[in-house]
Amino acid sequence: MIVEIRLPEISENVHEGDVIKVLVKPGDVIAVDQPLIELETEKAVFEVPSTVAGTLLEITVKPGGTVNVGDVIARVGTESNRPAAAGASTASRAISPAASSASTTPANTPRTPTPVPSLADPPAREAVASAVASTADAVVAVASEQGTPAPASPTVRRLARELGVDINQVLGSGPGGRISAEDVQGFAKSIIASAIGTGHAPAPVHTPAGPTAARTLPDFARFGTIERVPMTKIRQVTASNLAYAWTTVPAVTQHDEADITDLEAARKHYAPRVEAAGGKLTMTAILVKVCASALKRFPDFNASIDLARNEIVYKKYVNIGVAVDTERGLLVPVIRGVDAKNIAMLSIEIGEVAEKAPAKKIMPDDLEGGTFTISNLGGIGGTLFTPIVNAPEVAILGVSRATMKPVFVDGGFQPRLVLPLSLSYDHRLIDGAAAARFLRWVCEALVHPILLSLEG
């Protein structure tokens, strides 16, 4: 029989992705869980596996095309000789209007579809058309009751929710009134600016794109040879999120240094024990645990600001994102429930994440729910840097390379291994004195780990 493989539900608020690679071809014998395509969403790059075993009859997508959740991506002939029942096939197509449309009309990229037995006869095709029309009518009826959905991508809708903005009140500046991230940011800024000027929340005002809107660039080709390369979805989302953070979060960076001479000796001593358990004892793993204790000690750093309600949201859980450099851009997978895990457990989990990210095994859900972020550039080098707050979080810790320095101890200078740390924080919630205390506590806990038990 012929089985259609559809793009499954990926993650909340992720409804589509761009096809980066097709990993199989018609005629291939494929197994269950064998990767079929490499997909990039606004959050991650990962492989979509087959759900059945058999012979690949058709791959319905091409590199560069866009596929929606529910769309057919492949058709596979299984070992069963029983033909698919026309009624059952029709019913499966009626479940998802998007999927039905994808199987009866051309997709985003041209292809020659392979005939499906259940749709070979006119009555079956008419049944499918009728089911699709009925479902479409239902969708239109719901839309009429709730109002016409605003023309915006899932990324822009998510940004609007994070800012507490009603997406339906924003005037889009794009083609056909499509709403961009800049439109949402400009709308939010106008509300904040009006509130500051009047002392109370104003009525919503339609605002075009703000100062971060794209500007027309000069013709660089006039000055020499150029090459244009499309931005990946991850790079586009990174650009949008960082522009939002840069323009809306008044961030300050606090720098400090920790003497990790004794800690480094202990790390090397216990590293074999962690390796035997399947992990790698790194400074990042230790910092994750130390920061988890610091977040418990200083709850303002484990919070978010809800300007729409004039409230501070304190999170009773501790999930720490660890920035990972990949060939397609920066990813920040989240380690969950850090406060309930020991350093050995964290070392194993961080090691798994470090392997999954470049292998494109990180799923969108792995990147959600963070309350604090750590970005460690020590493996590359540098002395200090100012990381950008990963909004709606309110703080991020930057880690640079540890170096040997002469430190005055007990009346004389001694060579000590010193680790530079940089804490960027949202000044709307966190004052400078609080940031200095937080970072100093982290430094002291690295020097005297007993603080983790005393105060963490």
Give catalytic residues, as residue numbers.
Answer: 427
* Rounded CA separation 419/407 (Å): 13
Helical pair 343-356 and 283-297, crossing angle rounded to 10 deg? 120
Asked whether the bond before 83 is cis by omega within 30 degrees of 0, the reply is no
Contact predicate 296/456, CB 8 Å: yes
Contact predicate 70/6, CB 8 Å: yes
* Rounded CA separation 306/164 (Å): 7
* Rounded CA separation 70/349 (Å): 32
- CA neighbor of 236 nearest in space, from 328, 134, 119: 328
The torsion angles phi and psi of 192, rounded to 5 degrees, stand at: -65, -45
* Rounded CA separation 420/428 (Å): 25
* Rounded CA separation 157/16 (Å): 14
Contact predicate 352/389, CB 8 Å: no
* Rounded CA separation 5/291 (Å): 43
| Helix locations, 332-431, DSSP H | 343-356
* Rounded CA separation 320/142 (Å): 39
Q: How many other CB atoms are there within 10 angstroms of residue 30's CB atom?
A: 20
Q: Measured over all CA atoms, what is the biggest interatomic distance in the chain, rounded to whole angstroms?
A: 95
* Rounded CA separation 418/440 (Å): 14
**Hey, which bits of 120-275 come out as E strands?**
251-259
**Hey, which bits of 35-111 come out as E strands?**
35-40, 45-49, 54-59, 66-68, 72-77
